[in-house]
Amino acid sequence: MKLAPGGLPWLVFWDVRIRTRTYGFGGRPLLALLIYGGLIAAVHGGAWLLLRRFGLNRPIDLAAPALIAIYAELLLLLFAFMLMAAIASSFRLLHSGRALTLQLGSPLPFGRVLLAQVLSLVFSTWSIPLLFAIPVANVSALLGQPVLLLIYPVTIALAVCAQALTLLFASGLLRLFGVVRMRRLMPYIQAIVPLLIVTLNLFERGNPRSQTHNADFGQWFEILAAPMRLPARAIAGEPVALAALLVVAGLLLWLALRAASRGVRVALTTPDTVAAPAARRQSASAGLRFQRGLLRAMVLKEWRTTVREPRLAISLLATPLFVLPLFYSRLFTGQFSPSMAVVAALLATAQLCQRTANLTISAEEAPALLGSAPQARGRIIAYKCAAALLPVIGLMSIAAVWIGYYDPWRGMVCFVCGLGASFCLCAIEVARPYPAPRRSFVQVTAGRRKRNPLDILAILFVELGWAAGAWFLAERSLWGALIVFGVLVVPFLQWWRDANKQSLLGYY
Amino acid sequence: MTAAPTNAAATLQLRAVAKRYGDKTAVAALDLTLYPGEFYALLGANGAGKTTTLRMIAGLLQPDAGSISLCGHDLATAPVLAKQKLAFLPDEPLLYGKLRCSEYLEFIAGLWQIDPTQAAKRGEELLRWLELWPQRDNYCDSLSRGMQQKLTLVGALIHAPQVLILDEPLTGLDAASSRKVKDLLAQLARDGLTVLFTTHILEVAERLATRIGLIRAGQLIAEGSLDELRARFGASDSTLEDVFLSATFDGAEALGAVGRTV
């Protein structure tokens, strides 16, 4: 089918094509097929096991009220994740003026360009149920419940709703604060987004089926879950509910585009610059004073360039917050065991280290300067690793000492595993073939999105592997040591995979 | 304008340097010798191999064949000693937006491991000369493009290099700044600095260069002083632009001239 140039489908096609091109494994279709095919098979296998575990691998009455209630709760959680993704992508849209220069300078109407962008964002928001809910529906359909395939239009409609709601929210903020202030506010809002899941978790305690049931929260959970009964009924096969959901999604999108059009246009055409900070006061006669030492110079340079970019600093500090929702309910219901504290500290450490290592090692603002400097590449990279590791080890040591105060063994496990995970994550960053340029927050974010999926898999494997290893070691099980040895292989595999390591920093 | 001096030791020497990107030959068996105090312009059309050559000299790209030596130190076997003598300025300023200008210079002094007191003194002199002294405590990203270019030049010169490699050095500079930079570079060349630069603004090369090399498809097709090039490719009153167009776009004639000129 040939799409008419300049039309909405044509614009969406090109936008989605550009967004997804980076996940193509550099034009190696067989590798991409193997990895994506493997992933799809794995999530479907997991879905089948899940259905078997709960005895749902046989036809059941989908319209039963109890089942509708469960669907609604699950959809509420899914919608919360979609909202988180939609907030991030809507905020990114407000920064993408430079990337859209061509479209904005073309004779195409702005409304069409914006709609194409929003639809493309809906596509990326919809990728969340692709991993969680849709495999379950697919397997259920194969097991005799084809009506559950309605999850496709339902989740697409929910993705449209999430995107439209966040666009309305962003447009409200734009009207309230203006573009420049809004851009300053955005990282703070993104930093507190994980609290959405925490709040949901809190309200979930009002659910009578919850293990940590607390009646005080009952009505709140009912209120939150009520709107999700409509998509839940649509999944169960009610055509009226499905039609109503699609109408609601369409209306919300129309409303959002109408309300946000002007604000987004202003944001896209306002340069992405932060006002220059005031110069440090210094008397006119004071000369320059330099200090000695490359390690000091390198570490200070990395820290200064990170903490002085507010969006980077906040996103970095917010990283451990994303671990919080995982442990929230257990933390506040007295079920938080010391071993779980080790795992929580380790996950937070690994998340933080992954970000600091990515920033200091892989995102270099002036690689040609370092590459042409009379220093061995290995030395520069070692100092960059030091800059990444020092703050992480400092913070992790506090957690280890705190845990060690109650249980010295677990404290030691926390420290050693935290150290191991941090070193592994640094090694993976060092092994990356090409570090991304780093001129701004937007470039760093774009660089992270362009990562090779194998890098992402390696990082996930290391983070979760060390966490699992730490759990078993904290429980004094030798399985922990075995897992740790397995995880240690990952950075070596990364090194073996590509010979052009850190080539932007010169080749000596 | 004078031709290459031959009575001094070469500061930069390229011997049969080659680089390929897949099937495409970017640089093919390039020989180049530069002497102290020379101001050498490497000119060529887009994709001719100029930037690849400069990046190989700066140690950012590994040549597939050949050798590069800086002040007698081979870049492959003694890279630290070789790079100590070198400063490289690509067309994009090599700055850290969130460092203050003075911190940026301190970082470079640390990278080149030069004495902090001497570096501070030289940095101050250069900042004052290029009228950046009032901006010394501003963040680099608050400077205009021209100021950023000048600050990068200060960073390149702070460690007193013997070879300066410049890729489009005057991009983004206003007329006054451009004049200042040109004067500074000419003065440094008179003091013995070897300058190798590329530019698409041929008037700059015409005014500054003591020797000009014309590169096409990774091959040096001609080099010499402007007068020598005029004699081969144009009339005695030809501009460098006439010579450049004649040499780089008249394939057969130009290639025929290689043997006579190089």
Burial A44-73 (b: 16+ CB within 10 A, else e): beebbeebeeeebbeeeebeeeebbbebbb
A277 touches chain B (CB under 8 A): yes
CB B92 within 8 A of CB B169: no
Q: CB–CB of A293 and B110 under 8 A? A: yes
Is pLDDT at B2 greater than 50 in this prediction? no
Residue of A nearest to B114 (CA): A292
Tokens of A174: 């734009």
CA B11/CA A420 separation, integer angstroms: 47
Q: CB–CB of B95 and A292 under 8 A? A: no
Across the interface, of B75, B138, B155, the residue whose CB is closest to A276 is: B138
The CB density around residue A492, as the number of other CB atoms within 10 Å, is: 12
Across the interface, of B80, B94, B141, the residue whose CB is closest to A374 is: B80
Q: CB–CB of B139 and A277 under 8 A? A: yes
Is pLDDT at B6 greater than 70 in this prediction? no
Across the interface, of B55, B59, B137, the residue whose CB is closest to A279 is: B137
Q: Which residue has the tokens 């850190």?
A: A502
Check residue B217 and give left, alpha or beta (phi > 0: left; psi -120 to 50: alpha).
left
Residues of B in contact with A279 (CB under 8 A): 100, 135, 137-138
Bridge partners, B214 (sequence order): B43, B222
The per-residue pLDDT for B262 is: 44
Q: CB–CB of B120 and A298 under 8 A? A: no
Where do the domains of chain B lie, and which CATH numbers do they carry?
A: 12-85+161-261 (3.40.50.300), 94-160 (no CATH)
A379 touches chain B (CB under 8 A): no
Across the interface, of B99, B112, B117, the residue whose CB is closest to A373 is: B112
Residues of B in contact with A299 (CB under 8 A): none
CB B238 within 8 A of CB B67: no
With both helix axes pointing from N to C terminus, report the angle between A151-177 and A239-269 in degrees, rounded to the nearest 10: 30
A280 touches chain B (CB under 8 A): yes
CA A293/CA B135 separation, integer angstroms: 25
Give A247-260 as a DSSP string.
HHHHHHHHHHHHHH
Tokens of A107: 């004779």
Residues of B in contact with A508 (CB under 8 A): 59, 75-76, 79-80, 83
CA A72/CA A408 separation, integer angstroms: 45
What is the separation, in whole angstroms, between the first and last Cα of chain A? 51
CB A428 within 8 A of CB A494: yes
Q: What is the 3-state secondary structure (H, E, C) of A453-496?
A: HHHHHHHHHHHHHHHHHHHHHHCCCCHHHHHHHHHHHHHHHHHH
Bridge partners, B167 (sequence order): B198
Residues of A in contact with B84 (CB under 8 A): 374
Q: CB–CB of B60 and A506 under 8 A? A: yes
How big, in percent rounded to 5, are the helix, strand and coil portions of chain A? Answer: 75, 0, 25
Nearest CA-CA distance, residue A295 and chain B, Å: 8
Burial of B259 (0-12, 13-18, 19+ CB in 10 A): exposed
The per-residue pLDDT for B1 is: 45
A286 touches chain B (CB under 8 A): no
Closest by CA position to B100, among listed B135, B146, B133: B135
CA A208/CA A206 separation, integer angstroms: 6
A375 touches chain B (CB under 8 A): yes
Residues of A in contact with B138 (CB under 8 A): 276, 279
Residue of B nearest to A367 (CA): B94
Tokens of A376: 């061995």
Strand, coil or helix: A143: coil
Check residue B89 and give left, alpha or beta (phi > 0: left; psi -120 to 50: alpha).
beta
Size of interface A-B (CB pairs under 8 A): 133
pLDDT per residue of chain A (508 residues) written in tens, 0 to 9: 677 888 888 888 888 777 766 555 555 667 777 877 888 888 889 888 888 877 766 667 777 787 788 888 788 888 888 888 888 788 777 776 667 777 777 888 888 888 888 888 888 888 877 777 888 888 888 888 888 888 899 999 999 999 999 999 888 888 888 887 887 777 777 767 666 666 666 666 555 555 555 555 556 667 777 888 899 899 888 899 999 999 999 999 999 999 888 888 888 877 655 444 445 555 555 778 888 888 999 999 999 988 887 667 766 776 766 666 566 555 555 566 778 888 888 988 998 898 888 888 888 888 888 888 998 888 898 999 999 999 999 988 998 998 888 889 999 999 999 999 999 999 888 877 655 555 555 555 555 556 667 777 888 888 889 999 998 998 888 888 888 888 888 877 777 665 445 455 555 5
Q: CB–CB of A291 and B106 under 8 A? A: yes
Region B90-107 average pLDDT: 88
Residues of A in contact with B139 (CB under 8 A): 276-277, 308
Residues of A in contact with B114 (CB under 8 A): none
Residue of B nearest to A366 (CA): B94
CB A363 within 8 A of CB A447: yes
CB A274 within 8 A of CB A311: no
Q: CB–CB of A297 and B100 under 8 A? A: no
Nearest CA-CA distance, residue B51 and chain A, Å: 12
Burial of A302 (0-12, 13-18, 19+ CB in 10 A): buried
Q: CB–CB of B103 and A301 under 8 A? A: yes
CA A380/CA A430 separation, integer angstroms: 11
pLDDT top residue among B49 and B256: B49
Closest by CA position to A455, among listed A421, A417, A423, A493: A493
**Which of B85, B91, B107 would you mutate first to test chain A, the one with the most A CBs within 10 A?**
B107
Q: CB–CB of A374 and B79 under 8 A? A: yes
The per-residue pLDDT for B261 is: 46
- In tens, the pLDDT along B153-211 reads 999 999 999 999 998 877 777 888 888 888 888 888 888 899 999 888 888 888 888 89
Strand, coil or helix: A282: coil
Q: Would strands B24-34 and B12-21 be described as parallel, antiparallel, or unpaired?
A: antiparallel
Q: Which residue has the tokens 């990046």?
A: B55
Q: What is the reported pTM?
A: 0.71
Across the interface, of B76, B97, B111, the residue whose CB is closest to A375 is: B111
Residues of B in contact with A280 (CB under 8 A): 100, 137
Burial of B211 (0-12, 13-18, 19+ CB in 10 A): buried
pLDDT tier for residue B105 given thresholds of 50, 70 and 90? very high
pLDDT top residue among A499 and B51: B51
ipTM of the complex: 0.85
Q: CB–CB of B99 and A276 under 8 A? A: no
Residues of A in contact with B118 (CB under 8 A): none
Residue of B nearest to A298 (CA): B107
The per-residue pLDDT for A33 is: 77
Q: Which residue has the tokens 């919850």?
A: A210
The per-residue pLDDT for B87 is: 92
User: Residue A460 phi/psi, 5° resolution?
Assistant: -60, -45
**Which of A307, A369, A379 would you mutate first to test chain B, the one with the most B CBs within 10 A?**
A369
Nearest CA-CA distance, residue B126 and chain A, Å: 12
Is pLDDT at B71 greater than 80 in this prediction? yes
> Dihedral of CA A189/A192/A194/A198: which sign?
negative
